[in-house]
Structure 1
Amino acid sequence: MSTAMQSTALPTPEQHGIRAHSDGPIVPVQTRSERFRSTDVADFAPITGREHEWKYSPVAAFADLTSGELDGSRVEVEATDATGVSLSWIPRDDARVGRAGTPEERASANAWSSFGEALLVEVAGEEAKTVTVTRSGLGTAPRAAHTVIEAAPFSQALVVLRGIGDARLTENVEVVVGEGANLTVVSLQEWTDESVHLASHFARIGRDAKLKHIVVSLGGKVVRVNPSTHLAEQGADVEALGLYFSDAGQHLEQQVFVHHDAPHTRSRVTYKGALQGEGARSVWIGDVLIGNTATGTDSYEQNRNLVLTDGTRADSVPNLEIETGDIEGAGHASATGRFDDEQLFYLQARGIPEDEARRLVVRGFLAEVVQQIGDAELEERLIRALEAELQGS
């Protein structure tokens, strides 16, 4: 069974003076929430690379994940023990599948059409807890996966989804945060150098609930993690954070969407990345939509990129749509630049060698995101991983 949705209020060409182009009549989607959505891959046209959601991506590198047949069997999973957190496998027709969102592009729909069972991570209990779910041994054949993370009302937890080893994976991750719950989800990509990972994350946040969603992308040839958050009920709050380090020939991409759909909701989006080596590439697109019912919204998004060598490219595109004037505030920012020469001079003037000074500057730049994870052991491990990236090992 598939689900397809599309707004019936699309504008006509006459309303906007749009004339037919050489490839047919074109009526652009006027707002982020009007994009076509379906769980059936057959509802999406083949990808050309010219589509708005794919124009920054190396689509030829993962054609098998967007158009080919996928292995949708269970993936190998290991999880740490945590009181109040349980893991199980549920069938694709379970009522808990599909509550957080619906695919807006072909890779996500192909994964949805192909998976057999979903991994369910259930969180309960008001005491704080941490669980790490590690996926490994996926191999080099194209695969699909589906994960549902459900936080019961007033529960608290940190859930880490970690990917290691080889992978050619397209997947969907649903996050449902119940009333008054406080959930942190860390998506950690530490794949091997030739791996490809495409992921769509969908989150629905309930009344007075809070989600901290953190994307950390270090390994993999092509990694594309696109989180969408629906602030569906009054008082919902999201902190969307991202950290990435792109090396030579590596493509790391994030397309972030935050939909304020209820009164007095709050969002903060901060993604920071570093790039070094010939052909290193990062893409960040940030869409924030403040709907006409989202009075009292407080929103801000930013992306910062630090370029360490020549031959790199960072694309950064913030977008903000506001459909009501009754808000507390909204804004966005984007910056891409090289080292701060004044910081380097300050450190060198105090006897610190240039190479070490550069590492300290980069570490300080990226540590802002790492330090918000809330788990000292994981934070320290990521700092060591970033040091290794800086040293090229």
Structure 2
Amino acid sequence: MTTDSTAQHGLKKHSDGGWGLVPVQTRSERFRSRDVADFPAVTGREAVWKLTPVARIAELLSGDLDGSPYPIEAPAVDGISLSWVDRDDSRVGSAGEPEERASANAFSAFEKALLVSVTGESSSEFTVTRSALGSGARGAHTIIEAAPFSRGTVVIRNLGEAHLTENVEIIVGDSAELTVVSVQEWNDAALHVASHFATVGRDAKLKHVVVSLGGGVVRINPSTHLVGSGSDTEMYGVYFADAGQHLEQQVYVFHDAPHSRSRVSYKGALQGEGARTVWIGDVLIGRNAPGTDSYEQNRNLVLTDGTRADSVPNLEIETGDILGAGHASATGRFDDEQLFYLQSRGIAEDEARRLVVRGFLSEIVQKIGAPALQEHLQAAIEAELTVGAPTGAQSSGALA
């Protein structure tokens, strides 16, 4: 099909299927490219953008980006190293490639990739802090590689001001165990759009955690490709949206090997006029993945009127030989019985509400496995609950 013939007959690309006559039929068939020019301008009507406030992040979708290396803080630990590598490094693009324009814009712009190499076999915790990115539009690329049989936890902590679009590649070698935690504690005006691509090798395990507490618009989309027999992933998320804040996650797990396992669990809370969260969970069990065991869930706790939580779980199965697969989603207010139980024991209503929310979100925080970080996040959640906490809000429904 040539450009002349399409122009002659008034044809144009389908927003979700390129030049084909039908949209993409399965999650793994989405178009990919490292070049931003291969993606049309974003209108907000596309399937991957329809729930995102695209006007607020326009500079990350179409504008020029600063792709130079940026300042970081990363105290040294044994078994984990840090370096900058060139664009032609063989690991760049090996875990995944952009499926939408913001990701491709970052891929086209970055000059060097930040490489975190996990090689130690005794588990170490390594934190990379980014707090001086500034207000200019920036594109970035990070690679986290766990060598075969290695163990480690990598925390990417984001603070301050930023207008950032980026790609994060996670490569988990055979029999390795890696935990990656992305913590968003940006200021109120920050914009952050990120695509995380992970590949998990034979008998390897990846725990991936997204914590979003700060930022004006934060959209973190993690994808995990289980490519090795016996591979395993646990993907967790916790988020707290305040007035005017948009927090979004589009999660994808592709079971592409026998006897692989996945567990996805995201929990969030919303309070304040205009607080908005989006969670989309896609799980694809491919035809090459007999013996798969998979489950995904999303839970949202609404604290005030004027908020909106979108939650869309999706499951595709291409083989009948599986151990189990399921999904669940729920959005609701406080459980009256929980509040009554606490108040009947002398706890004031406002404090009882804080205890319920803290307990609801703490289940995910406790999955991280890094005590100091968990303690910090518990305090941050407590601060979110204390500042602008609702009083006397109506309660109905229940969430577990």
1:10 corresponds in structure 2 to: none
AA in 1 matched with 2:292 = T
Q: Is it true that 1:102 corresponds to 2:93 in the alignment? A: no
AA in 2 matched with 1:219 = G
1:351 corresponds in structure 2 to: 346
Q: Pick the aligned partner of 1:223 from 201, 218, 224.
A: 218
In structure 2, C-alpha distance between the alignment counterparts of 1:27 and 1:352, rounded to whole Å: 58
AA in 2 matched with 1:326 = D
Helix, strand or coil for the counterpart of 1:93? coil
1:7 corresponds in structure 2 to: none
Consecutive unaligned residues of structure 2, counting only runs of 5 or more, are: 1-13, 389-400
TM-score, normalising length: structure 2 = 0.92
In structure 2, C-alpha distance between the alignment counterparts of 1:67 and 1:48, rounded to whole Å: 11
Q: Pick the aligned partner of 2:233 from 227, 235, 238.
A: 238
AA in 2 matched with 1:303 = N
In structure 2, C-alpha distance between the alignment counterparts of 1:324 and 1:90, rounded to whole Å: 40
AA in 2 matched with 1:194 = A
1:16 corresponds in structure 2 to: none
Helix, strand or coil for the counterpart of 1:79? coil
In structure 2, C-alpha distance between the alignment counterparts of 1:252 and 1:117, rounded to whole Å: 28
Helix, strand or coil for the counterpart of 1:77? coil
Q: Is it true that 1:341 corresponds to 2:336 in the alignment? A: yes
Q: Pick the aligned partner of 1:187 from 144, 158, 182.
A: 182
TM-score, normalising length: structure 1 = 0.93
AA in 2 matched with 1:204 = T
TM-superposed deviation, 1:209: 0.2
Deviations 1:281-329 (A, max 9, x none): 0000000000001000000000000000000000000000000000000
1:161 corresponds in structure 2 to: 156
In structure 1, C-alpha distance between the alignment counterparts of 2:124 and 2:79, rounded to whole Å: 8
Helix, strand or coil for the counterpart of 2:305? coil
Q: Give runs of aligned pairs for residues 188-207 of structure 1, distance below 5 A.
A: 188-207=183-202
In structure 1, C-alpha distance between the alignment counterparts of 2:102 and 2:387, rounded to whole Å: 31
TM-superposed deviation, 1:75: 1.4
In structure 1, C-alpha distance between the alignment counterparts of 2:71 and 2:364, rounded to whole Å: 29
1:38 corresponds in structure 2 to: 33
In structure 2, C-alpha distance between the alignment counterparts of 1:162 and 1:321, rounded to whole Å: 33
What value does the CA root-mean-square deviation take over the aligned residues?
1.1
Q: Is it true that 1:28 corresponds to 2:23 in the alignment? A: yes
Q: Give runs of aligned pairs for residues 45-56 of structure 1, distance below 5 A.
A: 45-56=40-51
AA in 2 matched with 1:101 = G
AA in 2 matched with 1:153 = P
Q: Pick the aligned partner of 1:303 from 293, 298, 308.
A: 298
TM-superposed deviation, 1:25: 7.9
1:278 corresponds in structure 2 to: 273
AA in 2 matched with 1:40 = D
Q: Is it true that 1:331 corresponds to 2:326 in the alignment? A: yes
1:149 corresponds in structure 2 to: 144
Q: Structure 1 runs of 4+ off > 6 angstroms?
A: none
Matched residues, percent identical?
A: 71
In structure 2, C-alpha distance between the alignment counterparts of 1:71 and 1:81, rounded to whole Å: 27
Helix, strand or coil for the counterpart of 1:239? strand
In structure 2, C-alpha distance between the alignment counterparts of 1:182 and 1:160, rounded to whole Å: 14
Q: Is it true that 1:135 corresponds to 2:134 in the alignment? A: no
Q: Pick the aligned partner of 1:376 from 366, 371, 379.
A: 371
2:203 corresponds in structure 1 to: 208
In structure 2, C-alpha distance between the alignment counterparts of 1:164 and 1:25, rounded to whole Å: 43
TM-superposed deviation, 1:27: 1.1
1:175 corresponds in structure 2 to: 170
